[in-house]
A = this chain, B = another copy of it.
Amino acid sequence: MNKSTYIANQIRDKILNTKELAPNQALKTEVELCKEYNVSKMTLKKAIDILVDEGLVYKQRGVGTFVKNLTESPLNNIRDRYKDQNLTGFSASHKGQTVHTKVLEYTVIPASDFIAEQLGIQPSDFVYFIKRLRSVDDFPNVLEETYMPLELMPGLKLANAETSIYSFIENTLQLKVTSSHLSIRAIKSTEEIAGYLNLKPEEPVIAVTQTAFLSNGQLFEYSVCYHRYDVYEFHTVVVRKD
């Protein structure tokens, strides 16, 4: 771990957990923190900027750096993100414990024009089409439809779809998923979605469309996930810099 990430983690812990730093309290000055952590100014600023982007602290030029006085809801969202090891800058929260995945479809099909466009491949190139139902505490919560180019997933098995395709990619293929573009919208649930998620047809559903990339720039996944509207909400922090 690099120094700025380490320092950011230390200070975040003092805000979220040990409460050593209280809301509205000033952090030590940059000069002091540089000495404390024995790092240069640039490194320290990088560390603090991580916390600024997370929405935990704010800086005032000529004055100092302060812990934001967050209300419960935003604070819990940030806390949840670090508990879940979900360090992405975007988080979905749900209450619950036991997660179960049921594979509803696991097929290889020729890409439609639309899917080919979304995956950046040729129509009729083969793709995996995997439909899965995610349940939390035995309540079905998310219906996932995933499309991946066949040739990018050599050796994929049904068993991988039943546990985690991302584990397969990272552990077996030794590749990394480094970025993904998400679009979130609400729709009326179709008969099919309603059936799987125990909703009435036309009840709201949150549809999250994702385009995901590997560290080598390869687009490897297009997926649409339908989330129960009464279980999921999505959080983000917007920071405007000087």
Contact = CB atoms under 8 A, between A and B. Distances in A.
Interface in A210-236: 211, 213, 215-217, 219, 229, 232-236
Given A71-B117, A219-B69, A186 B204 contact: yes
A211 B70 CA distance: 9
B72 A237 contact: no
Contacts of A73: 118, 181, 183, 209, 211
Interface stretch (A98-106, A139-147, A157-165, A172-180): A172-180
Given A204-B229, A237-B182, A217 B24 contact: yes
A187 interface: yes
A23 to B, nearest CB: 9
A181 B235 contact: yes
A90 B235 CA distance: 11
28 contacts: A42-B42, A55-B179, A58-B179, A58-B215, A60-B215, A60-B216, A60-B217, A69-B217, A69-B219, A71-B117, A71-B118, A71-B120, A71-B219, A73-B118, A73-B211, A88-B238, A90-B238, A176-B240, A178-B240, A180-B238, A181-B237, A182-B238, A185-B206, A185-B234, A186-B186, A186-B206, A188-B204, A204-B204
4 closest A-B pairs by beta carbon, nearest first, are A204-B204, A74-B181, A186-B186, A185-B233
Interface of A: 24, 42, 55, 58, 60, 66, 68-74, 77, 87-90, 117-120, 176-188, 202-206, 209, 211, 213, 215-217, 219, 229, 232-241
